[in-house]
């Protein structure tokens, strides 16, 4: 036993030396390698610079904005969740590393030897840690890959005294996270950056504002640029293919998690880094739970299955929902409720036009659902619809599945969802023949100068189209 431990310790030591040697050699030959050198369609540094310039134009004179990276979040013990950057920080920098902060000035500042409108503090290269967790950009990588010229190590911020925050009329920040862990051995970690920023600004100062920066960023992020639309289309097309494959492969006896696995397999096969959110795959009674994601039930041929799942690609996420009959054929009751939701969704999509109020699609969908549920005597008065349709119809979509936006008038470049639903759990105050039927249909809608485009239209959604596709062979099912 002791000899075995010694052997494995020796192996680990040799591997570490090899990794460090390779890392050091790589550093000497290509010190500016980005963490991701494998994708050729990442947002270019010019995009992020343009977003910083656009934010600066919105800021008033004598103001400064300070944005922090996301915390590293712990899963359990010494295992962290895979790191996901703060969308606003990524939008402005392109940096996907933690323990960083961006300072953006309205006007040029003379800071010692530097004359600049922006500073970023980042973590240092560390060959030992990079051997375990992957390469970092470091100062030179940030300058070259991200195009930000004034770069310091995060460990330098505590003693960096060239910025007098009291001289600015406004110091803009976002709300601080309350789940930031303190690594007491790291003077440049996110906890330290936030702590020393608070010391340098003093939270009692009247020039601090943690609201308006979010409004500025929402104003920018709700209108997608050409570069963003390219990535959004890729994420949505991956999602469409995944939903189509589920339609071909779904069959009674599957577990909900197996249906989820089919969808997420197609995401990953096509290059998606993650699902954009925990996939909702609920059959039978679980089709009536809005954000259900336990996904453990065995599916019966008598169930409908709500699949709400979208791929994320280079930070941008799709959000598509279809409801399927597990045995390939909708029952008469399922078909009636399905067609009500489809009618409501089509009415909501029709209301998606520039200049319309953000809630116009919701109002259009509600009108249909109220009318049809009254006709079926599922509800007794119009406001009772809230028992069976209790969420909004639309949200913005982009770097977040529930993306930033101002929720005012729709304008060209907005991408929103239209996703009405009807959910009738067992025990509802209506005829039991409707019980355990949950239907949701969701598409991703691009607002254009005239009208809109249904970006996820490649996924079938009429009863006839769905049943026809479900009759075909899938990767995981063969006709008998």
CATH number of 442's domain: 3.90.230.10
What pLDDT sits at residue 205?
82
State the pLDDT at residue 94: 97
Active-site residue set:
78, 291, 308, 319, 391, 395, 402, 419, 423, 440, 442
Residue 271: the pLDDT is 97
Greater model confidence, 265 or 20: 265
Q: Are residues 69 and 212 in the same domain?
A: yes
What is the rounded distance in angstroms from the CA atom of residue 320 to the CA atom of residue 316?
A: 13
- Predicted pLDDT at 40: 93
**The pLDDT of residue 204:** 72
Domain-embedded: residue 13 = no
Closest among 248, 457, 290, 478 to 390, alpha carbons compared: 290
What range defines the domain where residue 310 resides? 223-470
Domain assignment of residue 310, yes or no:
yes
- 441 and 315 in a single domain? The answer is yes
Q: How far apart are CA 60 and CA 222, in angstroms?
A: 21
Rounded CA gap, 217 and 204, in Å? 24
**pLDDT for 361:** 98
Q: Is residue 286 part of a domain?
A: yes
244/288 same-domain check = yes
**Averaged pLDDT, 364-392:** 98
Considering 220, 240, 271, which residue would you say is the last residue of a domain? 220
Residue 5 lies inside a defined structural domain of this protein: no
Last residue of a domain, one of 220, 247, 270: 220
Decide if pLDDT at 449 tops 80.
Answer: yes
Provide the edge-to-edge strand list for the sheet that holds 311-313. 274-275, 311-313, 316-317
Residues 287 and 342 in one domain: yes
Do residues 133 and 245 both lie within one domain? no
Model confidence at 9: pLDDT above 60: no
Domain boundary among 220, 252, 278: 220
- All residues at 6 or more sequence positions from 335 whose CB lies less than 8 Å from its CB, including other chains: 463
> How do residues 21-46 score in pLDDT, each as one tens digit?
343 333 333 333 345 679 999 999 99
Tell me what pLDDT residue 37 has.
Answer: 78
- Decide if 477 is inside a domain: no
C-beta atoms surrounding 65 within 10 Å: 26
The pLDDT score that the predictor gives to residue 413 is 98
Q: Which of 432, 346, 345, 426 is nearest to 393 (CA)?
A: 345
How does pLDDT run across 130-156, given as a tens digit for each residue? 999 999 999 999 999 999 999 999 999
The C-alpha atoms of residue 150 and residue 406 are separated, in whole angstroms, by 32
Confidence of residue 203 (pLDDT cuts 50, 70, 90): low
Averaged pLDDT, 91-97 = 97
One domain, residues 450 and 318: yes
Q: Is residue 388 part of a domain?
A: yes
Six-digit token string for 247: 């339609």
pLDDT at 479: 58
Whether residue 21 lies inside any domain: the answer is no
Evaluate whether 106 touches 59 at the Cβ level (below 8 Å): yes
One domain for residues 140 and 194: yes
Averaged pLDDT, 207-226: 97
Say whether both 305 and 251 belong to one domain: yes
Share of the chain above pLDDT 90, in %: 89
Q: What is the pLDDT of residue 35?
A: 53
Phi, psi (5° rounding) for residue 251? -155, 155
Mean pLDDT throughout 194-202?
A: 94
Report residue 74 as tokens. Answer: 């712990």
* Long-range Cβ contacts of 173-178 (<8 Å, 24+ apart): 173/65, 173/66, 173/67, 173/197, 173/208, 173/209, 173/210, 173/213, 174/67, 174/68, 174/88, 174/210, 174/213, 174/214, 175/210, 175/214, 176/68, 176/210, 177/68, 177/70, 177/71
Residue 243 lies in a domain: yes
CA separation for the pair 436, 298 (Å, rounded): 15
Domain count within the chain = 2
Over the stretch 106-125, which tens digit does the pLDDT of each residue have? Answer: 999 999 999 999 999 999 99
Answer yes or no: do 135 and 67 share one domain.
yes
The CATH number linked to 124 is 3.40.350.10
What 3-state class would DSSP assign to 378?
coil
Q: Are residues 335 and 449 in the same domain?
A: yes
Cα 314 to the center of its chain, rounded Å = 10
Residue 169 pLDDT > 70: yes
Structure tokens at 373: 């549920």
Going from the C-alpha of 176 to that of each of 75, 90, 196, 395, 462, the distances in angstroms are 21, 16, 13, 24, 45
- Where does residue 440 rank: exposed (0-12), middle (13-18), buried (19+ CB within 10 A)? buried
Question: Does the pLDDT value for residue 6 go beyond 90?
Answer: no
Q: And the tokens for 472?
A: 């075909």
- Across residues 232-239, what is the average pLDDT? 98
Same domain, 307 and 399: yes
Q: What is the pLDDT of residues 332-345, one digit of tens each?
A: 999 999 999 999 99
The answer to whether residues 211 and 230 belong to one domain is no
Query: pLDDT of 387-446, one tens digit each?
Result: 999 999 999 999 999 999 999 999 999 999 999 999 999 999 999 999 999 999 999 999
């Amino acid at each position: 036993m002791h000899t075995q431990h010694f052997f494995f310790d020796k192996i680990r030591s040799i591997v570490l030396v090899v990794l460090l040697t390779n890392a050091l050699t790589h550093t000497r030959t290509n010190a500016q390698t980005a963490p991701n050198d494998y994708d050729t369609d990442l947002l270019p540094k010019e995009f992020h610079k343009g977003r910083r310039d656009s934010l600066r134009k919105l800021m008033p004179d004598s103001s400064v904005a300070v944005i922090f990276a996301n915390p590293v979040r712990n899963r359990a013990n010494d295992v962290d969740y895979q790191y996901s950057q703060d969308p606003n920080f990524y939008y402005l920098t392109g940096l996907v590393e933690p323990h960083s902060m961006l300072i953006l000035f309205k006007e040029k500042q003379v800071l010692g030897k530097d004359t600049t409108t922006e500073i970023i503090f980042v973590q240092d290269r560390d060959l030992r840690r990079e051997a375990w967790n992957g390469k970092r950009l470091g100062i030179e990588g940030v300058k070259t890959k991200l195009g930000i010229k004034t770069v310091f190590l995060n460990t330098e911020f505590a003693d960096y005294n060239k910025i007098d925050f009291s001289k600015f009329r406004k110091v803009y920040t976002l709300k601080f996270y309350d789940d930031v862990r303190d690594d007491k051995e790291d003077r440049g970690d996110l906890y330290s950056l936030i702590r020393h920023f608070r010391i340098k600004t003093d939270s009692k100062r009247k020039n601090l504002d943690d609201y308006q920066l979010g409004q500025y960023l929402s104003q920018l992020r709700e209108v997608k640029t050409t570069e963003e639309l390219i990535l959004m289309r890729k994420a949505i097309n991956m999602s469409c293919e995944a939903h189509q494959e589920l339609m071909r492969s779904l069959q009674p006896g599957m577990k909900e998690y197996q249906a989820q696995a089919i969808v997420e397999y197609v995401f990953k096969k096509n290059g998606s880094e993650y699902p954009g959110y925990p996939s909702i795959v609920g059959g039978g009674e679980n089709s009536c739970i809005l954000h259900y994601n336990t996904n453990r039930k065995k599916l019966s041929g008598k169930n409908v299955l709500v699949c709400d799942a979208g791929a994320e690609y280079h930070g941008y996420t799709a959000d598509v929902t279809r409801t399927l009959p597990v045995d390939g054929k909708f029952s008469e009751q399922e078909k009636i409720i399905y067609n009500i939701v489809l009618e409501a969704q089509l009415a909501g999509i029709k209301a998606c036009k520039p200049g319309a109020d953000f809630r116009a699609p919701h109002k259009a969908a509600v009108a249909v659902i109220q009318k049809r549920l009254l006709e079926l005597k599922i509800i007794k008065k119009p406001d009772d619809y809230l028992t069976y349709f209790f969420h909004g119809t639309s949200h913005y979509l982009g770097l977040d599945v529930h993306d930033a936006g101002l929720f005012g008038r729709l304008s060209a470049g907005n991408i929103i969802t239209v996703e009405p639903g009807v959910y009738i759990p067992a025990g509802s105050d209506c005829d039991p023949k409707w019980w355990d039927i949950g239907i949701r249909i969701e598409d991703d809608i691009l607002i254009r100068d005239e009208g809109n485009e249904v970006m996820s239209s490649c996924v079938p959604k009429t009863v006839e189209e769905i049943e026809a596709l479900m009759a075909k062979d899938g990767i995981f099912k063969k006709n008998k």
